[in-house]
Structure 1
Amino acid sequence: MASSSLVLPSISLRRSSISTSMGFKNEIPRISIKNLDRGGRVFMSIAVGAQTTVVDDARFKDYKPSCAFLFPGQGAQGVGMGVEAQKVPAAAELYKRANDIMGFDLLDVCINGPKEKLDSTVLSQPAIYVTSLAAVEVLRARDGGQGIIDSVDVTCGLSLGEYTALAFAGAFSFEDGLKLVKLRGEAMQDAADAAKSAMVSIIGLDSEKVQQLCDAANQEVDEENKVQIANFLCPGNYAVSGGLKGIEAVEAKAKSFKARMTVRLAVAGAFHTSFMDPAVSRLEAALASTELRTPRIPVISNVDAKPHADPDTIKEILARQVTSPVQWETTVKTLLTKGVEKCFELGPGKVIAGIVKRVDKSADIENIGA
């Protein structure tokens, strides 16, 4: 685990003990935002008489990963997920707790579908969040599983998976995370319904060529149909988002740019672009009313591929995440460059494992499903 940069004064501080739903206990001082310097670094302070305790948002900057948990995003869902979780009481319990928030039997949709219902943005996001955290409990119940969980010193998730990672790291409770994910899915669906937009994966090109393809398509459409790279996934696989006519232009031109193939994604609309602007204010309001704590381990952001410690900064980044390109390729490369030895993908599907292997064939990654 990354060493803490929290410097305590030499007098006793009253602390609040917080138990997260994932079984971790974290003692943290009550903190408040003090200032934001010109370099964009956030500092928090606790006044204790004449002394102050300062926590830098960049406290995890020099993290040295050895074992990482990676959580999937939308698209990893599949009918039948959640079956394995029912064999582990702690995992099965998460679905029961989810029902109170969702207002219906989420497990039934996960196991029985129908696929069209499970694939919808408003359902797939909560379903993946719960199933991914259920996978943590499945691993915990395995011989040596608790030891693996205890050894995790960095975590991250692809788009939606960032919320799962934050819940695992104790930044917010299981319930609060699910409420945010539920609202996020609804807000993104509503934003998608407001305009004709789409996403497409471009297979077989590097990011520079994909950008050139986007530029060529944008020359043929109006401003409302512009496209951009939305997901930097891994070498040879980049997702483009934008207006429907722009996406169609990308698909028509892809072969002339030597793309191997294009795959239209089964999502509601142009995620991770300005098309999602209407969702931001709703997310900001929900995040503002959510208790969010400093993660106990680094959680890598999709927006800038860096870990953050300050709760207010994390909230701001989560709101921006829906309109910002996903920097997943940079995240995976950084973990590998920093020397991570073992990765686990927790949740439905094996999308993350495939991406990691595309970045480095020798990478050690294991999938834990539920």
Structure 2
Amino acid sequence: MQAKRVENLDSLGVLKVYTGQGFASPGMGMDVLAQYEEVRKLYRTAREITGIDIERLCREGSPEQQRNTRNQQAMVYLNIAALVLRTEGLLFDRNEIWRCPEFEETRDQRKTVYLGFSLGEILALLAAKRFSFVDGLKIIKTRSELMAREGKGALASVLGGKEKEVVKAIHDKMGVYWAISKSDDNTSIGGDTRELLLSFCEELRAQGKIRKIIPTDGTSAAFHTPLFEQEGYELREYLRTQSGMFRPSDGVVISNLDARPYPGSVEDTINTMSGQIHQTALFRYSVKSVEERIEEVQVIGPGAEIMAKIVKANIPGMPVTTIETAASLNSYWDGKMRRLPSLSQH
């Protein structure tokens, strides 16, 4: 498979990549929460909508609680949404989203392309103002509840082998699936059971097709595989009942489903969002589709340093900035010799 270049970018721009599930860590986002009052408001709203005390989970949650799909998707969404607010100069109300007027004077005028890794795609759509913060929370609540169902297989990452050879072997094996394309030598594989999956991975290693196996314990099931086809269908039906939430996009958002810009129509957007749950996430090809149209990458969210390495593997030599903590957020703006407008900073 080859990446198809995105053509509708008329000048060099910046690619903003949002991380996803599997990158959560204890205490994440608490420094940003402590620094900004408007972020504290987001946490209060999130608790009301999801019924989850996300601040407590981030501070005190056990590893088991933090790995729980329902909890982790809410944690990651809220953590990245806070960074979206600060990096994009956005203001969130319950059902509205707009840019802070003062921010327009210092806003990066380059074309912005948004891309998310799995769950991060919801944040990419939020950053592009496709729906409100609260509507995004409702999507995450429904999506995570569907994906938290038990008995849905397992995931593992295999490193050190050519993707083409790994995918060919997958196609020849029943009960094993190509889940995520990260880079040419980093592929996520799903399996009907953990035992079947790890046995298959060991076969690949014995054949010299891969060097390393990493069971993906940060996620609880074989997401992005046909095992979640029913959940994808149910998410699509839910989104159809909420079709009024969608707004015109304020920027180009690349889909993991087909490595193309998100469609403009609401129905096609819904099909793309729901299809991502049970089809291969083509992250590698999404990154490479804009390689010739960008001059910088910003990786935003928990695990940004890890994700930056994946991005660099796909587009070597591209400048990459990571934004994950309050310190890195402040350093980012200091380095640009600009700052966000004062929005109740404490």
TM tier, smaller: 0.7 to 0.9
Are 1:265 and 2:224 matched, yes or no?
Answer: no
Cα shift readout 1:220-259 (whole Å, capped 9, x = no counterpart)? xxx5xx1121100012100011211431332221222321
| Aligned 8 A contact 1:155 1:299 in 2 | yes
Q: Deviations over 1:321-364 (max 9, x none)?
A: 111101111111122122x1121111111232111111133111
* Equivalent runs, 1:351-366 vs 2, <5 Å: 351-366=306-321
Identify the residue that residue 295 of structure 1 maps to in structure 2: 249
Are 1:199 and 2:155 counterparts?
Answer: yes
8 Å Cα contact 2:9-2:111 kept in structure 1:
no
TM-score, normalisation: structure 1: 0.76
Bigger-Rg structure (1/2): 1
Matches within 5 A, 1:125-144: 125-139=73-87
Q: Given the superposition, is the C-alpha separation of residues 97 and 152 from structure 1 closer, same or farther in structure 2, using an over 3 Å criterion?
A: farther
Query: Could you tell me whether the CA contact under 8 Å between 2:156 and 2:190 is conserved in 1?
Result: yes
Give me the whole-angstrom Cα distance separating, in 2, the residues matched to 1:181 and 1:332. 24
Deviation at 1:164, TM superposition (A): 0.7
| CA–CA distance in structure 2, aligned partners of residues 278 and 186 of structure 1 | 13
Q: How does 1:38-77 map to 2 (within 5 A)?
A: 62-64=8-10, 65-77=12-24
Uncovered stretches (5+) of structure 2, i.e. residues with no partner: 1-5, 90-101, 326-346
Task: Give the match's secondary structure for 1:205.
Answer: coil
Whole-Å separation in 2 of the counterparts to 1:362 and 1:145: 30
Larger RCO of the pair (alpha carbons < 8 Å, separation 6+): 2
**Equivalent AA in structure 2 for residue 304 of structure 1:** D
Inter-partner Cα distance in structure 1 for 2:108 and 2:29: 20
Q: CA deviation at 1:149?
A: 5.7
Which of 253, 260, 268 does residue 306 from structure 1 map onto? 260
State whether residues 133 and 346 of structure 1, in contact with CA within 8 Å, keep that contact through their aligned partners in structure 2. no
Identity over aligned residues, as a percent?
Answer: 25
Per-residue deviation, 1:273: 1.0
Counterpart of 1:322 (choices 277, 288, 295) is 277
Match of 2:29 among 78, 82, 87: 82
1:115 corresponds in structure 2 to: 63
- Distance across 1 between alignment mates of 2:224 and 2:235: 14
Aligned-residue offset at 1:315: 0.6
CA distance in 1, matches of 2:103, 2:185: 34
Change in Cα spacing, 1:100 to 1:202, as seen in structure 2 (3 Å) is: same
Instruction: Provide the C-alpha distance between the structure 1 equivalents of 2:147 and 2:108, rounded to a whole number of angstroms.
Output: 32
Are 1:250 and 2:195 an aligned pair?
Answer: no
Q: Distance in 2 between matches of 1:162 and 1:105?
A: 23
The separation in 2 between residues aligned to 1:158 and 1:257, in whole angstroms, is: 30
Change (3 A) 1:98 1:151: farther
1:151 Cα deviation after fit: 4.2
- Compared with structure 1, are the counterparts of its residues 337 and 73 closer, same or farther at alpha carbon in structure 2 (3 Å cutoff)? same
Question: RMSD over aligned Cα, in angstroms?
Answer: 2.1
Alpha-carbon spacing, 1:145–1:237, altered in 2? closer, same or farther (3 Å): farther
Deviation, structure 1 residue 152: 5.2
Query: What is the Cα deviation at residue 277 of structure 1?
Result: 1.6
Task: Identify the residue that residue 53 of structure 1 maps to in structure 2.
Answer: none
Going from structure 1 to structure 2, the CA distance change for 1:148 and 1:368 (only over 3 Å counts) comes to farther
| Aligned mates of 1:99, 1:262 — CA distance in 2 | 37
Q: Which residues of structure 1 form unaligned runs of 5+? A: 1-59
**1:145-173 C-alpha deviation (Å, 9 max, x unpaired):** 87356645210101111111111111111
Task: Provide the C-alpha distance between the structure 2 equivalents of 1:153 and 1:78, rounded to a whole number of angstroms.
Answer: 28
Aligned to 1:93: 41
